[in-house]
């Protein structure tokens, strides 16, 4: 049976007793955190707190594991992640894309350089000599066979994302493009489908979250509010009521509306964006 453990080795060996503090990393291809990593805000004691939706809270209460984006995970030589353990698996998935970690001792980058013992980093302007160290990685995975498993897991995500797009209606696909900030309302259905399938190939988690995630409603609200000028973009910021900044992107605005202290702002945006859906006061009986 294939090993279910990831063992990290330091190129310096165990005698160095060196520790590495690695923050959760975004996927270099998609630019997104793993789906179980949550953005944070600082509380009154300046401690990072995860921004959790109601579904997140239910997930955690049922034993699920979420990882804060602002808290580093500490590893060293021979740190082992047991992938059958939910906490270990979540911690590993959060940092596996770090440039400090090579898939194996002899991994090369896209230019053919070793990521551990590759080309020198830079040339000193004063001495004209190379400075820095060879490569960026200080750690490597002892069991490179698990890299193949990771690739297969990614292929399964792509297959799931493909299926969600294929099963959607033509109108539904146009709406999904709108949520991706891509207006394809006048495009041919085949072009819309091609756009989403290409996205599914490159970023399956984003497509899956688009169809199944709890943030979809907030994302649609933001897009519609921008269309109706309830929200405006000014100086590269999304703003409500002239002074409430939701963020510099739709993703940031979605995170803002997911925060517990933003409930009132969200209600006001909903009322202005969808006035036809607001409950009308009942007329009293004439006497």
What CATH number does residue 229 fall under?
3.30.250
> Which of 143, 168, 197 finishes a domain?
143
**In the predicted structure, residue 33 carries a pLDDT above the cut 80:** yes
- The verdict on 130 and 176 lying in the same domain is no
- The verdict on 138 and 153 lying in the same domain is no
- The verdict on 97 and 221 lying in the same domain is no
pLDDT (0 to 100) of residue 13? 65
**Per-residue confidence band for 22, with pLDDT thresholds at 50, 70 and 90:** very high
Q: Assess if residue 284 is contained within a domain.
A: no
pLDDT (0 to 100) of residue 88? 95
DSSP 16-70: G--EEEE-----TTT----TTEE-EEE-TTS-EEE---HHHHHHHHTT---EETT
Convert the pLDDT of each residue in 38-81 to its tens digit. Answer: 999 888 888 899 999 888 999 999 999 999 999 999 999 989 99
pLDDT (0 to 100) of residue 278? 67
Helix (H, G, I), strand (E, B) or coil at 225: helix
Q: Assess if residue 133 is contained within a domain.
A: yes
- The verdict on 29 and 121 lying in the same domain is yes
Please say whether the beta carbons of 26 and 169 come within 8 A: no
> Which of 197, 214, 231 finishes a domain?
214
- The verdict on 84 and 163 lying in the same domain is no
The larger pLDDT score, comparing residue 94 to residue 153, is at 94
Q: Assess if residue 101 is contained within a domain.
A: yes
Q: Assess if residue 285 is contained within a domain.
A: no
Q: Assess if residue 122 is contained within a domain.
A: yes
Please say whether the beta carbons of 50 and 38 come within 8 A: yes
Nearest to 40 by CA among 94, 118, 107, 117: 94
**Per-residue confidence band for 1, with pLDDT thresholds at 50, 70 and 90:** very low
DSSP-derived letter for residue 88 is: H
- The verdict on 130 and 155 lying in the same domain is no
- Count: domains in the chain: 3
**Per-residue confidence band for 120, with pLDDT thresholds at 50, 70 and 90:** very low
> Which of 187, 214, 241 finishes a domain?
214
Q: Assess if residue 255 is contained within a domain.
A: yes
Helix (H, G, I), strand (E, B) or coil at 244: strand
Q: Assess if residue 82 is contained within a domain.
A: yes
pLDDT (0 to 100) of residue 119? 56
Ordered alpha helix ranges (H), the chain: 54-61, 86-95, 145-167, 170-179, 189-202, 204-212, 216-227, 250-258, 263-273
- The verdict on 131 and 203 lying in the same domain is no
**Per-residue confidence band for 196, with pLDDT thresholds at 50, 70 and 90:** very high
- Residue 194: domain span: 148-214
Q: Assess if residue 181 is contained within a domain.
A: yes
pLDDT (0 to 100) of residue 2? 46
pLDDT (0 to 100) of residue 130? 47
**In the predicted structure, residue 122 carries a pLDDT above the cut 80:** no
Q: 90-104, 218-232, 244-258, 271-285: which range is least confident on average? A: 271-285
- The verdict on 202 and 169 lying in the same domain is yes
- The verdict on 48 and 129 lying in the same domain is yes
**In the predicted structure, residue 175 carries a pLDDT above the cut 50:** yes
């Amino acid at each position: 049976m294939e090993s279910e453990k990831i063992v990290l080795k330091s190129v310096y060996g165990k005698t160095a007793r060196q520790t590495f503090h690695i923050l959760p990393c975004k996927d270099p291809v998609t630019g997104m955190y793993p789906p179980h990593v949550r953005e944070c805000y600082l509380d009154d004691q300046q401690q990072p707190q995860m921004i959790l939706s109601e579904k997140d809270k239910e997930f955690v209460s049922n034993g699920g594991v979420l990882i804060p984006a602002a808290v580093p995970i500490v590893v060293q030589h021979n740190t082992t992640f047991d992938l059958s353990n939910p906490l270990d698996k979540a911690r590993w998935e959060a940092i596996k894309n770090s440039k400090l970690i090579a898939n194996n001792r002899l991994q090369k980058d896209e230019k053919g350089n070793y990521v551990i013992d590759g080309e020198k980093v830079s040339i000193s302007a004063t001495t004209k000599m190379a400075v820095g160290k060879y490569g960026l990685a200080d750690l490597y995975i002892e069991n490179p066979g698990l890299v193949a498993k990771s690739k297969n897991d990614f292929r399964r995500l792509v297959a799931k994302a493909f299926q969600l797009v294929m099963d959607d209606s033509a109108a539904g696909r146009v709406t999904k493009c709108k949520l991706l900030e891509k207006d394809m309302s006048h495009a041919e259905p085949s072009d819309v489908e091609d756009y989403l399938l290409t996205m599914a190939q490159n970023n399956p988690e984003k497509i899956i979250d688009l169809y199944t995630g709890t943030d979809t409603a907030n994302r649609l609200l933001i897009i519609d509010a921008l269309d109706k000028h309830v929200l405006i973009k000014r100086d590269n910021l999304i703003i409500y009521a002239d002074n409430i900044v939701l963020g510099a992107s739709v993703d940031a605005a979605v995170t803002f509306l997911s925060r517990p202290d933003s409930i009132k702002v969200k209600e006001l945006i909903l009322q202005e964006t969808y006035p036809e859906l607001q409950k009308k006061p009942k007329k009293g009986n004439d006497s």
